[in-house]
Structure 1
């Protein structure tokens, strides 16, 4: 298992959380705290918990959830560990399709948890190697975290997380299956087995994971992810997102992040689009295959998009 390095101390996601009791102990009162909030110096992130507004305003939804989670840990009257969706920000994992309204923590003491005031407390037996320290807080390890997410999210969102951790090397299929084997008493694990069956560490992004989910959920043939394309000399020159070699068809997911990654200094977005079109033409010349492209808008209409892929597969087979 490879754990990524911790982020720099000055990262706004590491912004300090000030509890009301700490501010009072340092000479403030409720009136002065309100003045700081009104002046835009502090912002309340949870009852009795504040942070610097300038740092908070730089964060996306995942970063702000991470700060709320830290406040919950600081205010907790018992020992808790960040778990489920609330552990993801500490690994910079995607949070697509996940409900960030509640902060999720797990009690290591095994006592019954509760769900109140925006906090979902889980109880569960934690092994010694289930918990690590990240950015000053205790958080569940990626292997267990990936499995936990499948119990509180849709299969599609769960696949995004499992594929992410696999692709980044933070867990392996063997580690996931070994941990899953002792999940027999966990609640809401019906989707977990399905997600693990569909998981693929070659899948590189949220859009690609969602595309794979769409394909498999529609009962379409399983494609090969990151299929290598070779030139006349046998050298690998490209990889396509998904391919059905037996049908002579490949699929590319077009997302904004993908094009930003391809953008070189001095290039415009239109330059990348033209280069990508030339790349597609070259692949078609080398393989004789057809290409289909889908984007975020297509993923919003899975039934229609699945039929588009199904029709392309039929046409490719007939050709």
Structure 2
């Protein structure tokens, strides 16, 4: 706008009350909800859209579920609608682009992050437990722990008062499996498949020592007793420098008797393949069920 600065986000009523014409709003604004606009000068990313939605939401509303998880950096797809949690019995008008969920939440279940009210890491984990399969829930939980938005104590306290809440059984089953040392969603998925199989539980970020006791590498997952390492190779491993470091790392591990089982994106849809190849590797090193 050239004559009236409406800011990054505004409502139709506010813009009109400040003297903006219908044509000016149509030219400047990007409609994201009924009567709610973002300036075309800003990128409509999730955080920016959430800040805009705050203009029309009650003060006790918080962004939750997949929206909160995404803003926390957890590995979930960005939801088509912005998800909002409100206290039970509060009624909000239906708006396109907004999904409203009623919850029995306390002050501990809502936190401020980047200027936005979000459901806490433990509340977000509990809410997503009703929607995600266990392996994906563990991957989200690992990411929340890794980023500092979730810890075992706060999660235990939230789940303790969540009787009869939809998803609480799955949340309680998955909670002990969370580990913030997992560096990515694929690593979390591979670990989940292994720990829920009949194989021994792998160690996470296992240090690999050379004959002099020096740490020469860390395996994503591994079994020190049988010298078997399990690695996930993401796209970053195709980088020339990273590829060279990987060659050095795998050579040093092989020189000291380690067997490395490597997986890639093509294996993420085949948990049976991951488990059975790991089983064969362990069996070749003397492990027996």
With normalisation by structure 2, the TM-score equals 0.84
Equivalent-residue separation in structure 2 for 1:99 and 1:271 (angstroms)? 31
Equivalent-residue separation in structure 1 for 2:90 and 2:131 (angstroms)? 18
1:203 to 182, 187, 193: 182
Root-mean-square deviation over aligned CA pairs: 2.8
CA offset at residue 163 of structure 1? 0.7
Equivalent-residue separation in structure 2 for 1:35 and 1:169 (angstroms)? 42
1:147-186 equivalence runs, <5 A = 147-186=126-165
1:45 to 29, 32, 41: 32
Residues matched between the structures, number: 281
2:16 to 24, 30, 34: 24
CA contact (8 A) 2:75 2:185 kept: no
CA offset at residue 86 of structure 1? 1.7
User: 2:61: which partner in 1?
Assistant: 80
User: 1:301: which partner in 2?
Assistant: 270
CA offset at residue 77 of structure 1? 5.2
User: 1:7: which partner in 2?
Assistant: none
CA contact (8 A) 1:160 1:209 kept: yes
Check if 1:278 corresponds to 2:248.
yes
CA offset at residue 100 of structure 1? 0.7
Change (3 A) 1:135 1:206: same
Change (3 A) 1:100 1:143: same
CA contact (8 A) 2:112 2:118 kept: yes
CA offset at residue 48 of structure 1? 2.6
Check if 1:243 corresponds to 2:258.
no
Change (3 A) 1:248 1:186: same
Equivalent-residue separation in structure 2 for 1:247 and 1:144 (angstroms)? 39
User: 1:232: which partner in 2?
Assistant: 211
1:135 to 86, 105, 114: 114
Structure 1's unaligned 5+ residue stretches are 1-14, 37-41, 58-63, 261-268
Give the SS at the match of 1:56. coil
Check if 1:317 corresponds to 2:286.
yes
User: 1:11: which partner in 2?
Assistant: none
1:30-109 equivalence runs, <5 A = 30-36=22-28, 42-56=29-43, 64-76=45-57, 79-91=60-72, 93-96=73-76, 98=77, 100-108=79-87
Equivalent-residue separation in structure 1 for 2:197 and 2:40 (angstroms)? 45
Give the SS at the match of 1:184. coil
With normalisation by structure 1, the TM-score equals 0.77
Change (3 A) 1:316 1:232: closer
Equivalent-residue separation in structure 2 for 1:215 and 1:53 (angstroms)? 48
